[in-house]
Amino acid sequence: MHGRPRKAPKPEDEAASTAKAQKLRALQTQFFSFHHSKIYTKETVELSAKLLEINPESYTAWNYRKLAVEHYLSQPDCNPDTAKSVLDDELRVVESALRQNFKSYGAWHHRKWVLSKGHSSIDHELRLLDKFQKADFRNFHAWNYRRFVAELMNRSEKDELKYTEDMIYTNFSNYSAWHNRSVLLSALLEKKAEGFLSKENVLPEEYDFIHQAIFTDPDDQSGWFYHLWLLDQTVTTDHPLLVSTWPAHGSDVLLVEDRCQNSSSFSPFTTLLSDSGSFPIVLYFNQPVEGVSSSTVVMECRFNKNEDLLWEPLSVSNLQTAQVWVAHLKFPTSELDSSVKISVGYTKEIISTRGSLYSHPSTFSFKVHVQPVERDSSQVSVAENILWREENFKVYRAQSEESIPIASFDHLSIRNDHESTASNWQTEALAKEVECFRELLSLMDCKIGKLTLARLLMAYDAMSFPFANKLVHSEEVLELYNDLMKLDPTHHRYYKDEHSLVLLQKMTSSKESLLQHCFQYKDSVSSAIGKPICLRLNNLSLSRIRAFERLLWVQILDLSHNELESIEGLEAMQLLSRLSLGNNKLRSLTALEPLRKLKSLRVLDISYNQIGDHSIDTTRYLCSSPLSHSVGSELNNDESVINNVALINYWEAFYMFKDLNLNRLDIVGNTIADEKFKSVLVRIMPSLKRLDGELLD
Amino acid sequence: MDDIPPYPPIDPTTFDLIVIGTGLPESIIAAAASTASKSVLHLDPNPFYGSHFSSLPLADLPSFLSTHSTSPSSPRPHSSEDSNEFSVLDLSTRPLYSSIDISCFSPDLLDQNSRKFNLDVAGPRVFFCADKSIELILNTGANQYMEFKSIDATFVGDNKGNLLNVPDSRAAIFKDKSMGLKEKNQLMRFFKLVQGHLAGELDVKISDEDLQSPFVDFLNKMGLPPKIKSFILYAIAMADYDQEDTGVCRDLLKTKDGIDQLALYNASIGRFQNASGALLYPIYGQGELSQAFCRRAAVKGCIYVLRMPVTALLVDKDSGCYKGVRLASGQDIFSQKLILDPTFKVTLPSGSSPPPPLQAKLPFFSQKDDRGKIARGICITATSLKPDMSNFLVVYPPRSLFPEQATSIRLLQIASNLAVCPPGMFVLYISALCDGDDQGKKLIHAVMNTLLTVPPINSESNAAVQSETTESGCAVQDETAESSSTGPSDPGEGKPTLLWSALYNQDLTLGQVDFICSTPMPDGKLNNDYLIDVAVKLFKKIYPEDEFFPQTSSENPEDDGDGDVSPET
């Protein structure tokens, strides 16, 4: 029961519980001996009932009873009547166990099991539930069981929805009731039941409903959860959409094989330096999808065959689901200029994790120009040499007619055509919510109100973004998060993360703001034109990063002097060849996992982080362990390569760097980076030419 | 009173205490004194329990009211004969009710059912689940003689006949359809402030300065809009007078008292598991309460004699001290103490001047109470004011019906499931404080005209109209009919039709603690807390050494009583 203070046990209570434990132990010993010898007589089953009455959590006893029931039911003289009476006995035992502890998992589960045998009357179940839900109206076990019973008796979702309403009217501080409401509404909407044809009709009423709770008692959190669910229902589109690609639609891409001089007039934004003779095509969806392949995505060009194109999900887990997919095209060798056309959703097999079909086929095309290779061995590549020093960069001034990736992204207009009709009611709903929460905040200072307003404003901006073309409210949202960090220090880190993400979205939202962060490497020997741009997002106290869909073009990225603990999502930036993560708060090598997907990465700076500071890596559970997983077997196979080193101690380093083709790594300033570790790194990465600035042999 | 049957003599003839009248305060005192092992004789001239707190059959109510509306007939000559030891002071009743209007529009229907009605003389009256009456009922075990049901809701009415739900709890605020989001937020925050204050949370403590200031000023300071202010003042704190017009307000609620009222209301909600709201009503009517205490007293040895008028007081000739009473049967009974119901007054022995010691005490008997009046109305209908609800309270805050309305008018609808009327009928109790008969009538009529269809009074119809004070009633009735016709004026459409009504004004005499202790008349409040306070005070006055209902067991009476007092389901 909620709201009851804990009391320290009195001596007599303790004595009583000792006596109880003794009795229980005796019972248990007896019970186990019966269980092990598979004795299912009336007496032994009765004993298990006694045990369960004292301790409903004794899962073994429940299982024993299940076996006993199966035993009875399989007897030759078993008829429907005896079966029913056996099962009714079970229901009685469960009921008395629940009276002892109405939150016993084992008991509720056993009841489900008995009922699914199909011999018992279900009508009694709702009455029983009413009793339990009255005793504790948010007992989630009872609610869970209620869903089971409702389904079993084919009770209509509308009736159940009405029930949640009644419970909410009794006391709206009820997570379980609100949750059940969201479950039922989802089901009704999916079925398109009468009166629940579209979200457009249902959600506004739900918003009205939840407002009553939120305004009546803004301190009650259960309502906020439901509001969050509604917001999610409002902003998420059912169908996956393609939001961004590289190369962008209509762009001219200059492909330059690395180590070559060039004096092209192409924009540095679309000049790709590559040393692998291939370039990536990146598809960025609005949600994780599966089924991207050469049959669902068709590429037409003269220098590669569609069937040769291998689409890979960019996901740190090994699932075949990802928000970003990549394929690599070989540089054309015969033709210097050629065009590529890509149709996404050619056949209808791309589906979201929620099971919705990608149903808006879109096509984008771009032109590629290849710079003829002029080898000059004396020239040292910029890629190896970049020094992340302030004085080495100068602000990039774009040529007036130059195509900036942001601009071309706007032209992409992948989503406009099919989103405009749908988003009317959504924008309206969000605008209404924004107004509503401004009113709430005018009445009182309220943390969750501020947070919700911030979320609403961002959702509103995102919704109207393709048309308004800027984040109108980002300043206000940043201010709200700043406020929240002060008001609610307990959740400082969460607000900080949100603040970072909004800041990034704001910086990448327009050409003007993005250009302020575009720099050119001064030291470049060759002419500035044609040399890639460095995006510098340093010194912004970012704790998280996002907005990758607008940064797919970036080849040089400076994220140094921030507060990053994670670089989740960075794997989307497939063109990255030089990256600085120096002076951040990365705490482990496994935090660098997204880098494993960056095949073009040559220069990496992770100096002055906290790698190795913490003996226990709290993120490790996200990463496969050397003992249980493929990494371990790889270790064994490669043992001959790296003998003499107890590699098992460095499996993380091995796992992280083995597949990276780095030329230069800076790792100084991390606890982990002692001499021994560095020597391991050198062995793991034969391609490495410089480690912490020092030229290797 | 001449047809009094022959009385058997009462034995013994000497008691510790004689209590005359079986109204609520008298019954409580009789029960308390019996519990304190006093010998008590409890008399009532009526053939029923409860006197002015009783619940009567339809046919008996008019005669009861009119009996107490006239000045007594000439004193009986025989009673004033002084004996050797005593001066005999004749007791007579004083008129307590005035301006009685009984109208019947459906005589047949009501005649058949007269005995099925239990009409409260002192209505509207309810219990708060956590008020002193309920505590007393639980403490004394009187709950074993009573059953309760929950009042479904409280509404605030307006002059257009609308009834607005009073959002009196978190759940009610959430559910309310008439308040805006902003108002919901403000009201709930105010409730939380009060709860925090009551719980002693330091950061929400209401300052002493605020506590001593008028409650209405505090509500203004909290920025509450007029509608919510009105809900809190009149439908939750149950203020009687217009709190925003100091000219007419005789009882300006202090913040402290307002908060206490809110605390009572809040503690009442959810106190009993099967009581949905804050208010309770006893099955068979409020008369049950007095009767329950009488039963409690009888169990402890109190002797009851009904139909026994008392004709005179016996006082010591020399000292002027009270000695006993002379009954209508002619028997003299003696006691140490006497509790008198407020109906009685003493007439001086004719011709002879009272002995000097008595003379000094006479002002008590001649003293005229000028505490104003309370206008009451009882209406019977065959349809509920709210189609989906049976038992509920409606409050009309000051100025809500007409500009000169200076006091709250309260209306309580009780249905047959509380056994106060035959199935399919509803009893409406209405009351408001007033200064005079005209004003009182106007207040009651204003509510009736807003909510009910009053059939035309046609001399040829069966409508039997008895009017004691014809100079006021009808004229005022017309006036208010006009003033209230500003609302949506399709009379009859959807409004319940009046079948029967009784309108009367009652004097508000207060209890006296003096030469003789007398109890107060039913007051103008919604519950009985004031009357219980007076009963306790009177008891302490006559028995300062004794405890008022001492706890008999160590059990927590609340835990013990929960099951018993909680309403029927």
How confident is the model over A628-687, as pLDDT tens digits?
444 444 555 554 455 555 566 777 888 888 888 898 999 999 998 888 888 888 888 888
- The whole-number average pLDDT for the span A483-508 is 92
Quote the ipTM score.
0.77
Identity (one letter) of the amino acid at B378?
A: I
Q: Choose between A173 and B342: higher pLDDT.
A: A173
In which band, very low, low, confident or very high, does the pLDDT at B470 lie, cut at 50, 70 and 90? very low
Share of chain B above pLDDT 90, in %: 54
DSSP assignment of A81-119: HHHHHHHHHHHHHHHHHHHH-TT-HHHHHHHHHHHHTS-
- The whole-number average pLDDT for the span B77-81 is 51
Contact across the interface for B181 and A169, Cβ inside 8 Å:
no
Q: Is the pLDDT of residue B361 over 90?
A: no
3-state SS class at B379:
strand
Tell me the angle at which helices A140-152 and A123-135 cross, rounded to the nearest 10 degrees.
160
Distance of CA A459 to the CA centre of its chain: 18
pLDDT in the model for residue A24:
86
Q: Which residues of A touch B189 (CB under 8 A)?
A: 444
Q: Which of residues 164-193 of A touch B (CB under 8 A)?
A: 169-172
Contact across the interface for B170 and A216, Cβ inside 8 Å:
yes
Among the listed residues A624, A580, A610, A591, the one whose alpha carbon sits nearest the alpha carbon of residue A672? A610
Share of chain A above pLDDT 90, in %: 29
Cα torsion angle, B245, B250, B252, B253, sign: negative
pLDDT in the model for residue A420:
47
Contact across the interface for B184 and A215, Cβ inside 8 Å:
yes
Answer for the pair A147, A110: CB distance below 8 angstroms, yes or no.
Answer: no
* Range A370-391 burial, b when 16+ CB lie within 10 A, else e: bbeeeeeeeeebbbebbebeee
Whether B182 contacts chain A with CB within 8 A: yes
Q: Is the pLDDT of residue B438 over 70?
A: yes
Q: Lowest-pLDDT range, A93-97, A115-119, A473-477, A577-581?
A: A115-119
Give the chain A residue whose CA is nearest to the CA of B276.
A170
pLDDT digits 0-9 by tens, B161-186 = 899 999 988 888 999 988 899 999 99
Q: Is the pLDDT of residue B490 over 60?
A: no
Token code pair at residue B491: 């009379």
DSSP assignment of A183-195: HHHHHHHHHT-TT
Q: From the CA of A522, how many Å to the nearest CA of chain B?
A: 59
Q: Is the pLDDT of residue A170 over 60?
A: yes
Contact across the interface for B188 and A211, Cβ inside 8 Å:
no
φ/ψ of A13, rounded to 5, equals -65, -40
Answer for the pair A533, A519: CB distance below 8 angstroms, yes or no.
Answer: yes
pLDDT in the model for residue B330:
87
Place of tokens 């004031």: B530
Give the chain B residue whose CA is nearest to the CA of A438.
B182
- The whole-number average pLDDT for the span A393-397 is 73
Distance of CA B197 to the CA centre of its chain: 31
CA angle centred on A83, ends A81 and A85, rounded to 5°:
70
Contact across the interface for A215 and B175, Cβ inside 8 Å:
no
pLDDT in the model for residue A469:
55
Tell me the angle at which helices A221-235 and A175-191 cross, rounded to the nearest 10 degrees.
20
DSSP structural state of residue A361: -
How many contacts (CB atoms, under 8 Å) link A and B? 40
Q: Is the pLDDT of residue A247 over 80?
A: yes
Nearest to A212 among B174, B182, B189 (CB): B174
pLDDT digits 0-9 by tens, A28-47 = 888 888 888 888 888 888 88
Rounded Cα distance between B155 and B162, Å, is 9
Which of B165, B178, B181, B183 should be substituted to probe chain A, the one whose Cβ sees the most A Cβ atoms within 10 Å? B181
pLDDT in the model for residue A519:
85
In which band, very low, low, confident or very high, does the pLDDT at B457 lie, cut at 50, 70 and 90? low
Q: Choose between A547 and A323: higher pLDDT.
A: A323
Beta strand A518-521 pairing with A534-536: antiparallel
In which band, very low, low, confident or very high, does the pLDDT at A419 lie, cut at 50, 70 and 90? very low
Q: Which residues of A touch B174 (CB under 8 A)?
A: 169, 172, 212-213, 216-217
Q: Does domain A17-194 have CATH number 3.40.50.2020?
A: no
Token code pair at residue B545: 């050494």
Token code pair at residue A93: 């035992």
Q: Which residues of B touch A215 (CB under 8 A)?
A: 181-182, 184-185, 188
Q: Is the pLDDT of residue B80 over 80?
A: no
Token code pair at residue B429: 């109790």
Q: Which residues contact B418 (CB under 8 A, 6 or more apart)?
A: B149, B281, B282, B283, B284, B285, B391
Token code pair at residue A253: 């891409």
- The whole-number average pLDDT for the span A222-229 is 93
Q: Is the pLDDT of residue B99 over 70?
A: yes
Residue A76, preceding peptide bond in cis (omega within 30° of 0): no
Whether A217 contacts chain B with CB within 8 A: yes
Q: From the CA of A194, how many Å to the nearest CA of chain B?
A: 25
Q: Lowest-pLDDT range, A245-254, A415-424, B405-414?
A: A415-424
pLDDT in the model for residue B471:
40
- The whole-number average pLDDT for the span B303-325 is 88
pLDDT in the model for residue A411:
45
C-beta atoms surrounding A572 within 10 Å:
24
pLDDT in the model for residue A332:
74
Average pLDDT, chain A: 82
Rounded Cα distance between A664 and B18, Å, is 110
pLDDT in the model for residue B50:
94
Whether A504 contacts chain B with CB within 8 A: no
Average pLDDT, chain B: 83
Contact across the interface for A444 and B184, Cβ inside 8 Å:
no
Q: From the CA of B558, how many Å to the nearest CA of chain A?
A: 19
Rounded Cα distance between A327 and A674, Å, is 38
Instruction: Tell me the fold of A242-414.
Output: Immunoglobulin-like (2.60.40)
φ/ψ of A238, rounded to 5, equals -65, -40
Q: Which of residues 398-437 of A touch B (CB under 8 A)?
A: 436
Rounded Cα distance between A311 and A550, Å, is 21
pLDDT digits 0-9 by tens, A518-573 = 887 765 544 444 567 889 999 999 999 987 888 888 889 999 999 999 998 899 99
Instruction: State which of A109-123, A516-530, A602-616, B291-305 shows the largest mean pLDDT.
Output: B291-305
pLDDT in the model for residue A667:
93
Contact across the interface for A216 and B189, Cβ inside 8 Å:
no
pLDDT in the model for residue A527:
46
In which band, very low, low, confident or very high, does the pLDDT at A409 lie, cut at 50, 70 and 90? very low
φ/ψ of A339, rounded to 5, equals -115, 155
Answer for the pair B190, B218: CB distance below 8 angstroms, yes or no.
Answer: no
In which band, very low, low, confident or very high, does the pLDDT at A199 lie, cut at 50, 70 and 90? confident
Q: Is the pLDDT of residue A412 over 50?
A: no
Among the listed residues A278, A303, A283, A301, the one whose alpha carbon sits nearest the alpha carbon of residue A293? A283
Q: From the CA of A215, how many Å to the nearest CA of chain B?
A: 5
Q: Which residues of A touch B184 (CB under 8 A)?
A: 212, 215-216
Rounded Cα distance between A245 and A519, Å, is 23
Q: Output the CA–CA distances (angstroms, integers) from residue B460 to A38, B106, B497, B501, in the order listed.
A: 93, 14, 19, 19
Q: From the CA of A213, how many Å to the nearest CA of chain B?
A: 6
Contact across the interface for B188 and A217, Cβ inside 8 Å:
yes
CA angle centred on B527, ends B522 and B532, rounded to 5°:
70
Q: Choose between A307 and A336: higher pLDDT.
A: A307
In which band, very low, low, confident or very high, does the pLDDT at B108 lie, cut at 50, 70 and 90? confident
The pTM of the full predicted model, rounded to 2 decimals, is 0.79
pLDDT in the model for residue A386:
67
Distance of CA A385 to the CA centre of its chain: 35
Q: From the CA of A322, how many Å to the nearest CA of chain B?
A: 42
Q: Is the pLDDT of residue A615 over 70?
A: no
Answer for the pair A369, A394: CB distance below 8 angstroms, yes or no.
Answer: no
pLDDT in the model for residue B91:
83
Q: From the CA of B225, how many Å to the nearest CA of chain A?
A: 13
Residue B507, CA atoms < 13 Å, CB-side half-sphere: 17
Instruction: State which of A391-400, A417-426, B12-21 shows the largest mean pLDDT.
Output: B12-21
- The whole-number average pLDDT for the span A409-434 is 65
In which band, very low, low, confident or very high, does the pLDDT at B500 lie, cut at 50, 70 and 90? very high
Contact across the interface for B171 and A436, Cβ inside 8 Å:
no
